[in-house]
Amino acid sequence: MDMARQHAWIRAGQSKSRRPIAVPLNDTAMRVLLAQVGKHPERVFTFRGNPLQKAHNKAWTDALKRAGITDFRWHDLRHTWATWQRRAGTPTYELQRLGGWLTGVMVERYAHLAPDHLASAAAKIDGLLAGYDLATCK
* Pair (35, 82) in one structural domain: no
Specify whether the CB–CB gap between 86 and 113 falls below 8 A: yes
pTM: 0.69
* Pair (79, 43) in one structural domain: no
Specify whether the CB–CB gap between 93 and 85 falls below 8 A: no
Q: Which domain holds residue 41?
A: 1-53
Query: Is residue 62 included in any domain, yes or no?
Result: no
- DSSP H helices, 4-46, are 27-36
Tell me which residue of 78, 73, 76 sits closest to 99, measured CA to CA: 78
* Pair (77, 134) in one structural domain: yes
Total domain count for the chain?
A: 2
- As a whole number of angstroms, the distance between CA 92 and CA 98 comes to 10
* Pair (83, 130) in one structural domain: yes
Which amino acid appears at position 100 of this protein?
A: G
The per-residue pLDDT for range 8-60, each reduced to its tens digit, is 888 888 877 788 888 899 999 999 999 988 888 888 888 888 888 877 778 88
Half-sphere exposure of 5 toward its Cβ, with a 13 Å CA cutoff? 8
Query: Is residue 10 included in any domain, yes or no?
Result: yes
* Pair (82, 125) in one structural domain: yes
